[in-house]
Amino acid sequence: MYIGFVKVGEERAKRTRRLSDFPCKRLRCGAHPLSVKITCVNPYPRTWIEIDLPALAHNLALVRGRIGGAVLTLVAKADAYGHGLVPVARFALRNGADWIGVATVQEGIALRDAGIDSPILVLSPILEVEAQQAVFYDLRLMVERLDLGQAISQAAQEMGRQAITHLPVDTGLARFGASPEDVPDLLAGLRRLPGLKVEGIGTHFADSGFNRERTAEQAATFGALLSKIDREGLMIHASNSAATSKYPEHVHDMVRVGIAAYGIDPYDMFGGLARPVLTWKARVMSLRRRPAGSLVSYSGTFECPRETLVATLGAGYGDGYPRSLSNAGFVTLGGVRAPVIGLVCMDQVLVDVTNVPSVAIGDEACLIGDSATVVELSHLAKTNVHEIVTRIMSRVPRRYRME
Ligand SMILES: Cc1ncc(COP(=O)(O)O)c(C=O)c1O
């Protein structure tokens, strides 16, 4: 069964016309501009994800309740934390989000090509060679160095446009951003560049979910800097999900919220009111009864302590199910927990369903959802919640529920 992409409308046609104006010829060598992406949909996939869009709207409303009239940027990088970039962004913008935050120019272009015309902020540094594309697609850019600002300014002037930028400040995460002591001069330099507007200034907390002191130190550094610069016309932003919910004083003019919007709450942000947006399911593809003492999966890391009914589920680490959940994770089948046994394989995971009544081939198991929460799985996999969902691969089909 085939379905075509629903949205091949006027906006895409407009974009195609604008592409012909674009000065960089190499960009025109990709897919034919009028090509329509065709997706093969398997009505009985071995594994799939269900996305509950009303839950996303509900969570965005919870965030809105904490930020009043500040701009709500939904952070949708890494395929909207595995939830699907374009459908999530499109829905969120109609249901509470004002801007979309991405990590790369490519993610921004994917949104523009889907007809999304909201402000899009690229949260990570870009390379100078990406400036032309980024300006062409009207992406807001983080600029931490004057030479990058100059490249963006030049690209904007060549296109007769104004590039919009934000200045990231490193207040302690030590990932990127200008040092606070360099910011006044950098800001003045960027403001002098033709074709470039500095619209905002922001920082990012290193541990706002769990470390109050470190967050307070970063906020103090940021606050001291803000008192030294001319803030006129600048949007101030600092807070991610945890800071938005825990520290109303750091909301400023905009928040950049990811994990809270997806209803994943490792920091007790909303007193249990957030609703998970993503459920991950896989079918039982094979069943076998193994005698006590037999080994299960690669390298024989699991030995059946008794006669064991082993179910083989149709998802593995090649789909993004963490291999670190080998002999540690669990799924639910018919509401009953079934432990992961042996090493997780690339395309399958094996679970002990001895205690699950009447299991059959084709049954649905819940890898994430029911009682298998992202928070608990992240503890078992010894990683953070963000990694659990962003790892889910594109070969796992996403199904979107609108109501
Ligand atoms: C700069 C920036 N802001 C905001 C966020 C959103 O963080 P969270 O998902 O914890 O809300 C991220 C995510 O890593 C980020 O890198």
Pocket lining: 259 vs ligand 1, CB cutoff 6 Å: yes
Q: Which of 240, 259, 384, 385 to mutate to test the pocket of ligand 1 (most atoms within 8 A of CB)?
A: 240
CB within 8 Å of 278: residues ≥ 6 apart? 49, 50, 51, 52, 82, 83, 262, 263, 368, 369, 374, 389
CATH topology agreement for domains 49-257 and 278-401? no
Pocket lining: 177 vs ligand 1, CB cutoff 6 Å: no
CA dist 378 → 27, 273, 339, 396 (Å): 40, 20, 15, 20
Tell which residue, 300, 295, 340, 296, has the closest CA to residue 322: 340
Query: What secondary structure does DSSP assign to 29-68, as a single string?
Result: GSS-TT---EEE--SS-SEEEEEEHHHHHHHHHHHHHHHT
Pocket lining: 250 vs ligand 1, CB cutoff 6 Å: no
Please identify which residue in the block is written with the tokens 């610069």: 229
| Both structure tokens of 80 | 């909207």
298 flagged as catalytic: yes
Task: Give domain 49-257's CATH superfamily.
Answer: Alanine racemase (3.20.20.10)
Distance 240 CA to ligand 1 centre (A): 5
Q: Give the whole-angstrom CA distance, residue 342 versus residue 302.
A: 5
Catalytic option among 77, 247, 267, 321: 77
Give me the residue spans of the domains in the chain. Answer: 2-40, 49-257, 278-401
- Closest ligand 1 atom, residue 73 Cα: 4
- Closest ligand 1 atom, residue 75 Cα: 6
In degrees, to the nearest 5, what angle opens at C-alpha 395 toward C-alphas 5 and 340?
145
pLDDT of the residue at 23: 36
Catalytic option among 7, 14, 298, 382: 298
Please name the helix (run of DSSP H) or strand (run of DSSP E) that holds residue 244, with its range, or none.
helix 241-246
Distance 382 CA to ligand 1 centre (A): 20
Q: Give the whole-angstrom CA distance, residue 58 versus residue 63.
A: 9
Distance 75 CA to ligand 1 centre (A): 7
Q: Give the whole-angstrom CA distance, residue 168 versus residue 182.
A: 11
CA dist 179 → 145, 174, 183, 248 (Å): 10, 9, 6, 25
| Both structure tokens of 300 | 């024989």
> Any idea which architecture 278-401 has in CATH?
Beta Barrel (2.40)
Pocket lining: 204 vs ligand 1, CB cutoff 6 Å: yes
pLDDT tens digit at each of 403 positions of the chain? 222 232 333 444 444 434 333 333 333 334 444 445 555 678 889 999 999 999 999 999 999 999 999 999 999 999 999 999 999 999 999 999 999 999 999 999 999 999 999 999 999 999 999 999 999 999 999 999 999 999 999 999 999 999 999 999 999 999 999 999 999 999 999 999 999 999 999 999 999 999 999 999 999 999 999 999 999 999 999 999 999 999 999 999 999 999 999 999 999 999 999 999 999 999 999 999 999 999 999 999 999 999 999 999 999 999 999 999 999 999 999 999 999 999 999 999 999 999 999 999 999 999 999 889 999 999 999 999 999 999 999 999 999 999 8
**Beta strand pairing call for 120-122 and 295-296:** unpaired
**Beta strand pairing call for 278-290 and 254-257:** unpaired
Q: Give the whole-angstrom CA distance, residue 345 versus residue 148.
A: 44
Distance 146 CA to ligand 1 centre (A): 24
Q: Give the whole-angstrom CA distance, residue 62 versus residue 344.
A: 36
- In terms of Cβ atoms closer than 10 Å to its own Cβ (0-12, 13-18, 19+), residue 3 is exposed
| Both structure tokens of 160 | 């007769």
Distance 256 CA to ligand 1 centre (A): 6
Ligand 1, atom 5, lies closest to the CA of 240
197 flagged as catalytic: no
Q: Give the whole-angstrom CA distance, residue 386 versus residue 320.
A: 13
Residue 392: CA count within 13 A, CB half-sphere: 27
How does DSSP classify residue 123?
-
Pocket lining: 312 vs ligand 1, CB cutoff 6 Å: no
pLDDT of the residue at 370: 82
pLDDT of the residue at 244: 97
| Strand positions, DSSP E, 131-277 | 140-142, 163-169, 196-203, 235-239, 254-257
Pocket lining: 257 vs ligand 1, CB cutoff 6 Å: yes
* Main-chain phi, psi angles of 155, to 5 degrees: -60, -45
Cβ distance 360 to 353 under 8 Å?
no
Q: How many CB atoms lie within 10 A of CB 350?
A: 26
Q: Which of 204, 246, 265 to mutate to test the pocket of ligand 1 (most atoms within 8 A of CB)?
A: 204
- In terms of Cβ atoms closer than 10 Å to its own Cβ (0-12, 13-18, 19+), residue 98 is middle
- Closest ligand 1 atom, residue 81 Cα: 9
